[in-house]
Amino acid sequence: MSCLFQSITIDGVEVRNRFLRSATWDRTGTDDGAVTDASMGIIEDLARGGVGLIVTGYAFVSEQGKAAVRQLGISHDRHVKGLSRLARAAHDHGARIAVQIAHGGVNLGLLGRAGRVALAPSRIEGHPQSHREATSDEIRRTVRDFAAAAARGREAGFDAIQLHGAHGYLLSQFLSPRTNYRTDEWGGSPERRRRFLVEVVRAVRRAVGEGYPVWMKMGLRDYSDEGLELDEGLEALKALIAEGLSAVEVSSGFGARSARTARPGDEEDPYFRAESAAAKGAVDVPVMLVGGIRSLGMAEDILNSGHADMISMCRPLIREPDLIARWQGGDTAPSKCISCNKCLAAGVKGEPLRCEEERLLREEAAAR
């Protein structure tokens, strides 16, 4: 049996295989962030389709931190009942599920609502989104928001909490010298720039207790001038593990889109494999790798090379929610996903999550 279909136990949570559905904004929440039947359908399809571990799309920890239309919420006790439906849906079909919790910070230029003033570590000249530097009291309140959200996630029955520390959201913004120019206790040195992340992990760990899984999707480096370097990202990761972080999904911070487009004939290129390998060499917690993985052979090579413990995917599972079951059943052809990004482009308009390429093919077939 392929190593990919062997179970793995993380923090006492047994996952049936090595495949993870990376957190994906699915545009199915209500305006208030409540779970809908469409939200349920996505989780059920993925669980039935063989995914071992599902991470929900990012859920906002506060109204101030809401980044998108139809984003799931975990900012209030009223969200718990609906979120518990998602947890049960995954469990009913043999999958494990984590809830990703996030604060958008200033990363609202594309998705934010008109008239909002975002909170940011620092004032960023020329940034298109209206924003201001957060006060120390506001930062501490946001730490409490993360902790309260994590407690709700555990109450709802999720197997783990995943903090969103990638893709330029608030945790990334504090960590990166590209966006954190502060000279107080929250910035000015690598240690102080990572303090917000440390305080969040510490507070979340207190809120959910020892032994409950607390993970992070983390940008270990930026792909931009004056951004976070890998060495510093790894040091930050070590500091977070010391506070109770128990697994990491490796992605990017600023400067590189986590969902690159591909052209016909492009070679399969896992975007963050080098960073994941570096993390595996630096820390002892499970490491998950996302980005650009499209074939069973590549996924096996990554695990056999010791560059990750789990394989994380997003767009291939939008195109084929049953991809993992297909592979396990013997049809090992690569994912049908062509990385055109039409599924994500539709999200800018607030349209439901779907593979536009698959929809067009079906429409063409029906017309013939």
Of how many residues is the chain composed?
368
Q: Is residue 348 assigned to a domain?
A: no
Q: Active-site residue among 58, 169, 212, 271?
A: 169
pLDDT for the residue numbered 363: 63
Q: Mark 164-203 as b/e (b = at least 16 C-beta within 10 Å).
A: bbbbbbbbbbbbbbbbbebeeebbeebebbbbbbbbbbbb
For the cut 90, the answer to whether the pLDDT of residue 353 exceeds it is no
pLDDT tens digits for 45-100?
999 999 999 999 999 999 999 988 899 999 999 999 999 999 999 999 999 999 99
Q: Is residue 82 assigned to a domain?
A: yes
Q: Is residue 358 assigned to a domain?
A: no
pLDDT for the residue numbered 285: 97
pLDDT for the residue numbered 15: 98
pLDDT tens digits for 90-146?
999 999 999 999 999 988 655 555 567 899 999 988 888 889 999 999 999 999 999
**Distance (Å, whole) CA 102 – CA 180:** 18
pLDDT tens digits for 137-191?
999 999 999 999 999 999 999 999 999 999 999 999 999 999 999 999 999 999 9
Q: What is the dihedral of CA 31, 116, 252, 239, to 10 degrees?
A: -100
pLDDT for the residue numbered 368: 63
Q: Is residue 368 assigned to a domain?
A: no
**Distance (Å, whole) CA 337 – CA 345:** 15
Q: Mark 216-244 as b/e (b = at least 16 C-beta within 10 Å).
A: bbbbbbbeeeebbeeebbbebbebbbebb
**Distance (Å, whole) CA 60 – CA 93:** 26
pLDDT for the residue numbered 257: 61
- How many CB atoms lie under 10 A from the CB of residue 299? 25
Q: Is residue 276 assigned to a domain?
A: yes
Q: Is residue 354 assigned to a domain?
A: no
Q: Is residue 362 assigned to a domain?
A: no
What is the overall mean pLDDT for the chain? 92
Q: Is residue 240 assigned to a domain?
A: yes
**Distance (Å, whole) CA 18 – CA 313:** 11
pLDDT for the residue numbered 154: 98
pLDDT for the residue numbered 114: 57
Domain residues for the domain of 62 are: 3-337
How many domains is the chain built from? 1
Residues 6+ apart with CB under 8 A from 341: 259, 261, 315
**Distance (Å, whole) CA 23 – CA 12:** 21
CATH number at residue 39: 3.20.20.70
Q: Residue 45 has which token pair?
A: 């399809």
pLDDT for the residue numbered 265: 66
Whether 169 is a known active-site residue: answer yes
pLDDT for the residue numbered 274: 96
